[in-house]
Structure 1
Amino acid sequence: MLPTFIIGLREGLEAALIVGIIAAFLRQRGQGLGAMWIGVGTALTLSLAVGLALKALEHALPQREQEALETVIGVIAVVFVTGMILWMHRHARDLKRNLEGDIGAALGKGGGLALAVMAFLAVLREGFETSVFLLATLSAAQSGFLASLGAALGLALSVAIGWGIYLGGVKLDLGRFFRWTGAFLILVAAGLTLQALRTAHEAGWLLAGQRQVADLAALVAPGSVQSALITGVLGIPADPRLVEVLGWAAYLIPVTLIVFWPRRLRPDAQGALRLRLGGAGALVLLAAGLALGWPKAEPAVRMQAPMVTADGETLSDAQFSLSSRDAILSVAGQRLSLPLSQAEVTPERHQGLAATHRYLKSSRELSDLPARIGLQELVTLTGGRLPVGLNPARHPGPYAATWQRIDKVDLWTASGALLDAEGRTDLVLTLSQGGLQTSRVLRIERMPDGETAGAWRIDPAVVAQNARALRTAEQARIEARFWAGALPLFLLLGALALIVPALRAARRRSLSTFQEARS
């Protein structure tokens, strides 16, 4: 409630101050206030429409898009309030006098209509800012009703002060008022910065820096005074994350120093120039250190693993391995390479990771096995049972035998590393002659050379280990993209924002010195 009260009071007061001074000018000159009130009413209607439209849009969106919109609104609100704080810091002492000068000039040029337009624009600007700022604050508030009540009370008080200014009965030290409300709003804006970073994570935009740095659950128990102050007013959650704390401090410290650094200790123009250039240099060095020094993580993935049956029994002398070009099955000393270039490839999620699924199939004749086989040998190969449809009297053998091995493999990789694999090996025996009128196709479990068939997969323990390693590596890459990529870019932009005005100031000083020397 308190943050929205201060927002409503402070934002509303600037508009009320302008409207009150305009109304007083018009009253002193005997002119009507109708045009001014039309401008004020139109501006208030438009501002309310903006707020309601944004709120309706937010509710109409899916959850992730809602978080994205809240992030955008939060960032805009922080920019608005920061600009307002800094502008008031520079102009609060002379605000009323400057407004009266502007109003007098507008009255001389365009009369009452110019003042009505001036009131419309002033209320519209503050109304837009108030709508965005309150919407961001309401989204982070513990109680929407109390937050709305605080905003209404603040706006009502600002209207009352504006009316008092119009009547001439209220004398307000604007410099002191905006200074101390500015201190409070800096804390609120820092909390909004933290909340914007949190909603950016929930929207899927900011995945780095999510390590929890403190547990404030005992301190901010729901319903307590501490919770109302720390979470409700300052916007600090019970489980602050690293990037949120850094963002909070990166906003709070410099803005507080700019606004509240003692005037007697402020540097002169030359000192300010050196300070800006020094700050820019520090930001550049920090950006370079992060970009060049952030560690590069590689996944500790096993690229080969034992093969097990569907029942979990380890297949002796059987391993699956992955190279850059092939999936390799090694069984009983025999090696089969399946080229990855011939795989059917589809992207999908596997083991909770974004993976590439490859389906490989291989079929090959086994020419080193007997070309003819007797009935008793066939019974041995089929586990001691005579295959269905064979009659010893009618099909006594021996048979002409053709041997074939068919391998089917489903392979999942992530970041080019082995994640999981499973497959099936079928041993197919095709019989002809030996009394058979047509060829017979049999699937057998064991070849004469001992090679086995059936379903298999790589050891689940290795799959779990690889999945953990790949998730760790993926998170490390996300962290690196932020800390060694995005953050250095923002730091360089900050350095540029310091350097450009510093160079302009230095150029102006040089021109001024040159002109003084010539004269």
Structure 2
Amino acid sequence: MHVLATFVIGLREGLEAALIVGIIAAFLKKNGHRLTTMWIGVGAGIAISIAVGITLKVVESALPQRQQEMMETVIGAVAVVFVTGMIIWMSKHSRGLKREIEAAAQSALGEGTSRAMVIMAFLAVLKEGFESAVFMLATFQASTNTGSAIAGAVLGIGGSVLLGIGIYRGGVSLNLGKFFKGTSAFLILIAAGLVVSALRTAHEAGWLNAGQARTVDLHWLAPVGSIRSAVFTGVLGIPADPRVVEVLGWLLYVIPMALVSFWPVAHRPGAIQSIRLKLGVAAACAIGAVVTFVAVPSATLDVPSAAPVVDAGGATAGTVRLDGATLQRSGGEQTHLTRAGRATVTGVRTNHFTGSPASESGAKAPSSLTLAQVTALNGGRVPVGVDPAVNPGPYRAAWHQSDKLDVWTSHGRLYDASRAVRSSVTLTGGGLNTQRTLTIAPDATMPAGMTAPGASWSVKPSYTDDFSSALNHFAGERDSATFWGRVVPLGLLLAAITLLVVALRARRRVPSTRERVSATTRDTSSRSSAHA
């Protein structure tokens, strides 16, 4: 089924170029000019178009996966723009396309040189070839069977060449209006599928995270491997699990394009009505932009203001909270924080702060300890390497203590924190042959002026786990709020401005009421004079 999509693209794009080349060739031949130069221009246009397609494909293949998704999104968006412009232009000019081309060729030949016609053929082939390269590359990316897609493109281009030859020789009569109108319906659906594919690759590239909720399950309608799946997914680009933003994108493309292309000519608005319609739609878009901008709420990070902490033994030890640049612990302990940079904690990007908790006030730590004091500092046990009979004490004591507070924040909220108190004492003398370093037990009774290691604590792990989950939820809400409350209003505002500019330009081309009345009066006077 992929062959059908690329066949129609190749046939339609190729036929437009073939028509231009065929008419120019007929004019050159009729007026005695050689076709060699024209064919060189045609060949150059084809070569450049092929080079563009190959270059885009090579560059895309050389990129990492995420960058490939980005490039596929850009190529898909450009392809949609190209095919949209082509459909709209053809809806207005398909009936008189051949006459317009012949008039342009006659004008160029009337200037006395065939160079303009050769350039015309080159540019026509280059334009159609470049559009085809981008459009087909986007179709190949969305296709699950590249081989059949390429075969369809070759068949379509080959068919357009044969039709062009037939028209050139006069053996084929083709109603271009009906041909382009019929293929427009198919191209609108293909382009809408590319819109869906571009939105999905934009999500995979990390550009679009809003509107990703699933809408309906279409696996029953298009089972994997079936012909229906080939039609819906392969040709029309409709996935079996469409997301909200993809459904909206598909509808917002198909409905306006179908109205533009297939609204009955007899019921189409006149020049004045068309201007009023554009102004009305522009006003609706502007109002919609304001409403969505105001109505969509901002995302909020919902986490507790205080975090529970546990001590070195795992027991609950109160709570801590952040107050500006100060960390406050239940019980009145406060520590001023200093920024230390950024750090990643359990996969979360945070701001890192440090602090030095205030030490207990009191007398200077003793420089001498008895054996009983040393045993108390070691949790009631005689330290290893100390023999009461041989090393009875007293001992000279050299104290060492570090007290470090680390705090990590995210979005101005406390994410994690810990206080690590490490105390030790080096003993000499008292019968010791060599110095002994004793690490103070957490439950030790410390001398005045020293902080017990038991003062160490950390934020409860379940709090950081809940914070991480809240961050993920906040990121999704923020992306949705940005898309619906900022991107969508901006798009509506740009659409309103574009429609306003188009309407004003069209208004300048429409005669004023006074000019129409004057023209009518002159026409009436002329008819009266002629009758007299």
TM-score using structure 2 length: 0.88
% identical equivalent positions: 47
Pairing 1:416–2:395 present: no
Deviation at 1:140, TM superposition (A): 0.5
Structure 2 counterpart SS, 1:317: strand
- 469-478 or 350-359: which moved more? 350-359
Partner of 2:29: 27
Question: What is the aligned length?
Answer: 512
What is the CA deviation profile of residues 456-505 of structure 1, one whole-angstrom value per residue up to 9, with x for unaligned ones? 43222222111111211122112111111122111100000111121233
Q: Equivalents in 2 of 1:269, 1:139: separation in Å?
A: 41
Q: 3-state DSSP class of the match of 2:54?
A: helix
Distance 1:67 1:316, change over 3 A: closer
2:373 pairs with 1:377:
yes
* 1:322 aligns to 2:322 (yes or no): yes
Give the alignment of 1:423-502 within 5 angstroms: 423-428=419-424, 442-444=438-440, 445-448=442-445, 453=454, 456-502=457-503
CA change 1:113–1:269 in 2 (3 A) is: closer
Query: What is the deviation of 1:293?
Result: 1.2
Q: Match of 1:488, as an amino acid?
A: P
Change over 3 Å in CA distance of 1:368–1:485 after alignment to 2: farther
Q: Which moved more, 1:264-273 or 1:494-503?
A: 264-273
Give the distance between the partners of 1:114 and 1:228, measured in 2 at CA.
45
Mapped partners of 2:117, 2:5: distance in 1: 32
Q: Could you say if the C-alpha distance between residues 368 and 6 of structure 1 is closer, same or farther in structure 2, counting changes exceeding 3 Å?
A: farther
Equivalent-residue separation in structure 2 for 1:398 and 1:141 (angstroms): 86
Residue 84 of structure 1 deviates from its aligned partner by 0.6
Instruction: Decide whether the 8 Å contact of 2:66 with 2:204 is kept in 1.
Output: yes
Within a 5 Å distance, the mapping from 1:279-428 to structure 2 comes to 279-308=281-310, 314-330=314-330, 333=331, 335-340=332-337, 342-348=338-344, 350-360=345-355, 362=357, 364=359, 366-367=361-362, 371=366, 374-388=370-384, 390=386, 392=388, 396=392, 406-428=402-424
The code of the aligned residue for 1:473 comes to F
Structure 2 counterpart SS, 1:223: coil
The amino acid across from 1:337 in the alignment is Q
3-state DSSP of counterpart to 2:315: strand
**Shift, 1:212, TM fit:** 2.0
**Rounded Cα–Cα distance in structure 1 between residues aligned with 2:307 and 2:212:** 33
Per the TM alignment, residue 242 of structure 1 is displaced from its structure 2 partner at its CA by 1.7
Contact 2:296 2:484 in 1 (8 A): yes
Q: Which runs of 5+ in 2 are unaligned?
A: 523-532
TM-score (norm. length: structure 1): 0.90
Any conservation in 2 of the 1:353–1:471 contact (CA below 8 Å)? no
The aligned counterpart of 1:235 is 237
Distance 1:514 1:406, change over 3 A: farther
Moved more, 391-400 or 490-499: 391-400
Change (3 A) 1:96 1:515: closer
Give the direction of change, closer, same or farther, for the CA distance of 1:109–1:507 in structure 2 (3 Å limit): closer
Question: Which of 151, 159, 163 is the aligned partner of 1:161?
Answer: 163
Q: What residue is the counterpart of 1:15 in the other structure?
A: 17
Paired residues for 1:70-81 under 5 Å: 70-81=72-83
Do the aligned partners of 1:363 and 1:406 also contact (CA within 8 Å) in 2?
Answer: no
Shift of 1:510: 6.7
CA 1:218 to 1:338, structure 2 compared with 1: closer, same or farther past 3 Å?
farther
8 Å Cα contact 1:344-1:360 kept in structure 2: no
Q: Pairwise mapping of residues 33-48 of structure 1 onto structure 2 (< 5 A)?
A: 33-48=35-50
The whole-number CA distance in structure 1 between the counterparts of 2:336 and 2:219 is 55
Is 1:506 equivalent to 2:502 in the alignment? no
Matches of 1:365 and 1:429 in 2, distance apart? Answer: 18
User: Corresponding residue for 2:529?
Assistant: none
Change (3 A) 1:400 1:291: farther
Q: Which moved more, 1:470-479 or 1:227-236?
A: 470-479
Partner amino acid, structure 2, of 1:355: T
SS in 2 for 1:297: coil
1:300 Cα deviation from its structure 2 partner: 1.7
Shift of 1:421: 3.0
Contact 2:339–2:352 (CA under 8 A) maintained in structure 1: no
Aligned CA distance change for structure 1 residues 370 and 104 (closer, same or farther; 3 Å): closer
Unaligned runs of 5+ residues in structure 1 are: none
2:103 alignment counterpart: 101
Q: Please provide the CA RMSD for this pair.
A: 3.0
Preserved CA contact (<8 Å) 1:396 1:435:
yes
Instruction: Show the 5 A alignment for 1:55-66.
Output: 55-66=57-68
Q: Secondary structure at the match of 1:453?
A: helix
Shift of 1:439: 9.1
Measured in 2, the distance between the counterparts of 1:25 and 1:177 equals 24
For 1:408 and 1:327, locate their aligned partners in 2 and report how far apart those are by CA, in whole Å.
13
1:397-441: CA deviations, max 9, x gaps? 667878776333443322112223344222445778978999976
Query: Do the aligned residues in 2 keep the contact of 1:418 with 1:466 (CA within 8 Å)?
Result: no
Q: Which amino acid aligns with 2:334?
A: S
Q: Distance in 1 between matches of 2:316 and 2:73?
A: 56
Q: How does 1:109-258 map to 2 (within 5 A)?
A: 109-258=111-260
Secondary structure in 2 matching 1:175: helix
SS at match of 2:490: helix
**Displacement after TM superposition at 1:25 (Å):** 2.2
CA deviation after TM superposition for structure 1 residue 147, in Å: 0.4
SS at match of 1:107: helix
Report the 3-state secondary structure (helix = DSSP H, G, I; strand = E; otherwise coil) of the residue aligned with 1:418: strand
| 2:530 paired residue number | none
Offset, 1:294: 0.9
